[in-house]
């Protein structure tokens, strides 16, 4: 069984470390797209086992405790791990646009799968902080200065982020 850690946003996998580069917002309106993409970084830790051909990440919705699946997450829920060098075993996955249909308190779980000649196996996962979905949430999320800096650094990483995107998110 793969273990994950909700407290620090890092995976406990011995092969890969997973962290949120740009985490989901803490509050959103039901059915409203997140303004910013959710971006997850993956890095090998130590020696990876087997000949991994490609890494893929999948997003799913969990209850507030992270102990059970929940319905209602829509958008691009699967992403290959990419970097400026193409599809790689170290880089970033982008999930956008995402939205959560029903009011409540949830977490988003990102699972890392590794494709090899023997098939696809789950290698690690990470859970987001709690997302409060309610009608009183702001209609959009503007990036903080720290997020803008992080996004600007990700433009070169082949995950479909441009300077024009960042400017639009700042106007949201």
High-pLDDT (> 90) share of the chain, %:
67
**91 found inside a domain:** yes
Count how many residues are written for the chain: 172
Is residue 85 one of the residues assigned to a domain? yes
Structure confidence at residue 52 as a pLDDT band (50, 70, 90): low
CATH number at residue 37: 2.60.40.3960
* In a domain? residue 166: no
- Asked whether residue 107 is assigned to any structural domain, the reply reads yes
149 in a domain, yes or no?
A: no
The count of domains in the chain is 1
> What is the tens place of the pLDDT at every residue in 7-39?
334 444 458 899 999 999 999 999 999 999 999
**Across residues 123-136, what is the average pLDDT?**
95
Least confident window among 32-36, 39-43, 106-110, 111-115:
111-115
> Are 11 and 4 in contact, with CB atoms under 8 Å apart?
yes
Q: If 0-12 CB within 10 Å is exposed, 13-18 middle and 19+ buried, where does residue 10 land? A: middle
For residue 167, tell me if it sits in a domain.
no
Structural domain boundaries, residue 113: 16-138
Q: Evaluate if residue 60 carries a pLDDT over 70.
A: yes
DSSP state of 24: P
How far does CA 104 lie from the centroid of its chain?
Answer: 20
Confidence of residue 44 (pLDDT cuts 50, 70, 90): confident
Within-domain flag for 49 = yes
pLDDT score recorded for residue 84: 87
Is residue 28 one of the residues assigned to a domain? yes
Higher pLDDT, 98 or 80: 98
The pLDDT of residue 48 is 56
For 62-70, the CB contacts below 8 A with 24+ separation are: 62/106, 62/107, 62/108, 62/109, 62/127, 63/105, 63/106, 63/107, 64/104, 64/105, 64/106, 64/107, 64/130, 66/6, 66/107, 66/109, 66/127, 70/104, 70/106
Q: What is the pLDDT of residue 2?
A: 36
């Amino acid at each position: 069984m793969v273990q994950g850690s909700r407290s620090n946003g890092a995976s406990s996998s011995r092969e890969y470390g997973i962290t949120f580069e740009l985490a989901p917002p803490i509050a959103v309106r039901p059915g409203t797209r997140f303004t910013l993409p959710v971006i997850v970084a993956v890095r090998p830790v130590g020696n990876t086992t087997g000949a991994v051909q490609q890494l893929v990440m999948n997003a799913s919705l969990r209850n507030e405790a992270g102990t059970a699946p929940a319905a209602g997450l829509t958008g691009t829920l699967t992403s290959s791990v990419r970097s400026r060098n193409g599809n790689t075993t170290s880089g970033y996955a982008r999930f956008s646009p995402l939205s959560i249909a029903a009011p409540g308190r949830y977490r988003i779980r990102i699972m890392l799968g590794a494709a090899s000649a023997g098939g696809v196996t789950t290698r690690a996962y990470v859970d987001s902080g709690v997302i409060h979905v309610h009608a009183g949430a702001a209609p959009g999320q503007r990036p903080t200065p720290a997020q803008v800096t992080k996004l600007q650094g990700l433009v070169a990483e082949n995950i479909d982020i441009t300077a024009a995107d960042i400017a639009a998110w700042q106007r949201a």
